[in-house]
């Protein structure tokens, strides 16, 4: 299921989402002593990252990771890790912990096994998940065009998977739907008229393999909070 929250300006959305996420992380740290959040890459989240980085939270108790990462060097302009370090792990948030998805040189089965063990022990279920959405209805790196899409959407998948999209650059490491769907608070952050149309198309149809974001919108036990601004 889902709820749509609309904002007149991206800046207002960024502030509102940062307030909401800050409150959830604060409550989680108070209850459990720690909290986890997975964010997405792409061009949409920069303003939100900046707003969240200014919140005075117990950042040393908060682990940030990514919903997905491109398998590129960390200093590449395509690295989501670089984006997060430059825009979120700043200001008040400089002491946040970061769980790297891109570890080592090769995205091998052994690398995935080690990372799966670590995220299951240390991170899951996530307290907060911030998803983005592509024009093709992909989210995280659950790409409709990839050979791996059935595994990505299967409820029996491991938490982290290798994905090779046919229509986007770089091999990826992505959390699976099964792992992301356990998140206690899920947000879909999108902006602009064309993403609104993509969302409407996703809502109007059923087949998750065609538009993987549908898996989150349809799951009865996932309450996806859509945050959209013009
Ligand atoms: C990635 C992402 C991806 C992204 C969407 C939206 O690394 O590519 O995590 O899922 O969120 O493609 O990207 P934009 O914000 O650039 O439209």
Q: Ligand 1: which residues within 6 Å by Cβ?
A: 40-44, 67-68, 70, 80, 132-134, 138-140
Between the CA of 38 and the centroid of ligand 1 the distance, in Å, is 13
Q: What is the pLDDT along the chain (230 residues), one digit of tens a residue?
A: 999 999 999 999 999 999 999 999 999 999 999 999 999 999 999 999 999 999 999 999 999 999 999 999 999 999 999 999 999 999 999 999 999 999 999 999 999 999 999 999 999 999 999 999 999 999 999 999 899 999 999 999 999 999 999 999 999 999 999 999 999 999 999 999 999 999 999 999 999 999 999 999 999 999 999 999 99
Domain boundaries, given as residue ranges, for the chain: 2-169+185-191
Between the CA of 31 and the centroid of ligand 1 the distance, in Å, is 31
Could you name the CATH architecture of 2-169+185-191?
3-Layer(aba) Sandwich (3.40)
pLDDT value at residue 76 = 97
Ligand 1 atom having least distance to the Cα of 42: 16
Distances (CA, A) of 197 to 7, 126, 191, 222: 16, 29, 11, 22
37, 42, 102, 152, best to mutate for ligand 1 pocket (most atoms within 8 Å of CB): 42
pLDDT value at residue 145 = 86
Tokens at residue 208, please?
């998750």
């Amino acid at each position: 299921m889902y709820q749509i929250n609309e904002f007149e300006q991206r800046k207002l959305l960024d502030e509102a989402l940062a307030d909401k996420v800050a409150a959830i992380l604060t409550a989680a740290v108070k209850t459990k002593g720690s909290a986890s959040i997975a964010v997405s890459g792409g061009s949409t989240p920069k303003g939100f990252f900046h707003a969240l980085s200014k919140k005075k939270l117990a950042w040393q108790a908060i682990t940030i990771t990514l919903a997905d990462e491109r398998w590129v060097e960390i200093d590449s302009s395509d690295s989501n890790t670089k984006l997060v370090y430059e825009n979120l792990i700043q200001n008040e948030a400089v002491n946040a912990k970061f769980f790297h998805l891109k570890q080592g040189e090769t995205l091998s089965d052994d690398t995935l096994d080690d990372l799966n063990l670590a995220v299951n022990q240390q991170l899951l279920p996530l307290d907060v998940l911030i998803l983005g959405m592509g024009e093709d209805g992909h989210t995280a790196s659950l790409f409709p065009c990839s050979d791996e899409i059935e595994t990505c959407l299967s409820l029996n998948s491991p938490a982290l998977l290798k994905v090779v999209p046919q229509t986007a650059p770089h091999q990826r490491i992505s959390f699976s739907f099964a792992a992301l769907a356990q998140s206690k608070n899920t947000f879909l952050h999108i902006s602009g008229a064309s993403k609104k149309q993509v969302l409407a198309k996703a809502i109007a149809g059923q087949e998750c393999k065609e538009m993987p974001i549908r898996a989150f919108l349809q799951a009865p036990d996932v309450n996806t909070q859509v945050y959209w601004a013009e």
